[in-house]
Structure 1
Amino acid sequence: MPVSEVELRRITVNGVALNVATAGRGPAVLLLHGFPHTWRLWTDVIGELSRRWRVIAPDLRGFGDSARPPDGYDAGTLAADAEALLAALDVESAAVVGIDAGTPPAFLLGMRGPGLVRRLVLMESLLGRLPGAEGFLADGPPWWFGFHAVPALAESVLVGHEERYVGWFLDQGTLGRGVRDEVRDAIVRTYRGTDALRGAFGLYRALPDTVRQIEAALGSARLTVPTMTIGAHPVGRALEHQLRPHADDLRGHVLPDCGHIIPLDRPGPLLDLLLPWLGEDDRR
């Protein structure tokens, strides 16, 4: 689907103006990106999804063309943003797909039950300190987690080098295959400057709060929403292993020869998993 056929809207939720891409009609599918992404992460899957569903793909607060408030980057607040966005669009329930840093807020939405989330897809991320990811973390967390988490540090040294820095993640996330120029340029544009970088790094600075929120959610309830995990390189099955003891209905997949940025690296195999999974509700 050409970008020109995607409708871009500015919708204020929780006092924050979000840039939201929408396409299609039917039951809602909410797509939550991670770092360093924007809604354009979903460029190669929106068209096919929008044939059957109403696709809603926001730039998270602090990212893309959304506003960049000074706080609110913990998963609980991002989940509240997403819930308020669905309400603003008169959506009573949605399938929710999260990747990377979009996975924890998608998970917390799912913990609120099938009245809000009818089906859940979680990709290429970990959920806090839950057991199951020891293999992935054997050598410690990825190096950039600590770099991004130090207040005001990363943005102070990266201004002027945003294209190279963001480009490194896009190349690594596609196993060196890269992202085509028009998508790459559109993403890089939104990471230029101190404020843009600070907003993106807010996710990492709020990780202690996110960890507590995940643990609190699972301390009193199980994940009852039908859930599918999709791994690639490097996370693999770590997320599936974390969720297995806590989920009532869980299916796990790993895509071979696929980088971290699944929707841009292997959109076809991703759709092969998403279309039947999301369509199960249609057949009931």
Structure 2
Amino acid sequence: MRSHASLIATRDVSARGARVRLVEAGEGPALLLVHGCLSSRLVWEDVLPKLATHFRVIAPDLPGFGQSEKPPPARYAYGFNAFAESLVDVVAALGLGRISICGHGMGGSVALTLAARHAALVDKLVLVDPIVYPPRTDALSRLANMPIVGPFAFKQLCGRTVFRSYFKDRVYAPDSTIPWNRVDHHFDLFNAPAAREAALATLRALHDTRPLVALLPRVAAPTLLVWGRSDRTLPVAQGRRLARELRNARYEVFECGHSPPEEVPDAFAEIAASFLATQGGKAA
């Protein structure tokens, strides 16, 4: 296999009527990387080149986030199901066939949804601190779900300082080196009316995870479940619970917060690549 890991191409595809911006690199089995809420494909920036030495890696910005189109909620039903169906369109547009999916936070929830509803498309799953059970509430989520005043405050008053505080206090472990340039880039992408409206609709959709929990028995793909021991939003006990409830899951805990791909990128890329290279979820 030729080494094209360093050649990262950017392109747009149409997914459920929305323009989706994505990057891809590498050759081999297809691996889709799915970011979380208030984030973008940049969350994979440190691990994408490493994974692309083994796989054809595709990292999209979900509709409403990053550099993808941000349709109004009246036109796009932000939430697990809509995002999963958009990714089905991405897979079809790129002619990928059967894929593996690695999802972080909300992206893990989307990956689970896709695996449950389109089992024939999914080879393996890597779930990174996914939102499956109710998370510990944070200021932004509480604001988004407040009636009347909440939407106004979220869309008009949530500035860079609040955004930075959310990532510092809820995403990264206390002893992590915070990639402030990336966080500020996320804020710049978020800081537009259409993006804020999309983020608000998404946060509200994440409030009720019961439909996702009901789908868990339908997930048959071999799964690597990765958790940060110091995740302050989704306690590590939730990972242990999910590992029990999934049919074929392996559970690994890293010494970091909510974002192993950013906090421990080398260790994360190594274990993810090793798992994805095995057959049937067991060592080849």
Scaled by the length of structure 1, the TM-score of the pair is: 0.84
Structure 1 residue aligned with 2:48: 46
Structure 1 unaligned residues grouped into runs of 5+: 130-136
Q: Is the 8 A contact 2:14 2:89 kept in 1?
A: no
- Structure 1 residue 44: deviation in Å? 0.4
Distance 2:180 2:213 in 1: 40
Structure 1 residue aligned with 2:274: 276
Q: 1:81 aligned to 72, 86, 90, which one?
A: 86
Q: 1:225 aligned to 221, 226, 229, which one?
A: 221
Distance 2:182 2:250 in 1: 31
Residue 206 of structure 1: SS of its match in structure 2?
helix
Structure 1 residue aligned with 2:236: 237
- The one-letter amino acid of 2:131's match is L
Structural RMSD (CA):
2.6
Structure 2 residue aligned with 1:187: 186
Change (3 A) 1:144 1:57: same
- The one-letter amino acid of 1:29's match is L
Q: Is the 8 A contact 2:19 2:68 kept in 1?
A: yes
Q: Is the 8 A contact 1:36 1:166 kept in 2?
A: no
Paired residue total = 268
| Percent of pairs with identical residues | 25
- The one-letter amino acid of 2:56's match is R
Structure 1 residue aligned with 2:97: 92
- The one-letter amino acid of 1:203's match is T
Q: What does residue range 145-224 of structure 1 map to in structure 2 within 5 Å?
A: 145-150=141-146, 151-158=151-158, 161=159, 163-172=160-169, 173-176=171-174, 177-180=176-179, 182-207=181-206, 211-218=209-216, 221-224=217-220
1:215-263 residue CA offsets vs partner (Å, 9 max, x unmatched): 4424xx432110111111223433433324432211111101x121221
- The one-letter amino acid of 2:257's match is G
- The one-letter amino acid of 2:266's match is G
Distance 1:13 1:168 in 2: 33
- The one-letter amino acid of 1:274's match is A
Structure 2 unaligned residues grouped into runs of 5+: none
Residue 82 of structure 1: SS of its match in structure 2?
helix
Structure 2 residue aligned with 1:123: 128
Scaled by the length of structure 2, the TM-score of the pair is: 0.84
Distance 1:10 1:81 in 2: 13
Structure 1 residue aligned with 2:110: 105
Distance 1:280 1:125 in 2: 22
Structure 1 residue aligned with 2:71: 69
Distance 1:261 1:156 in 2: 27
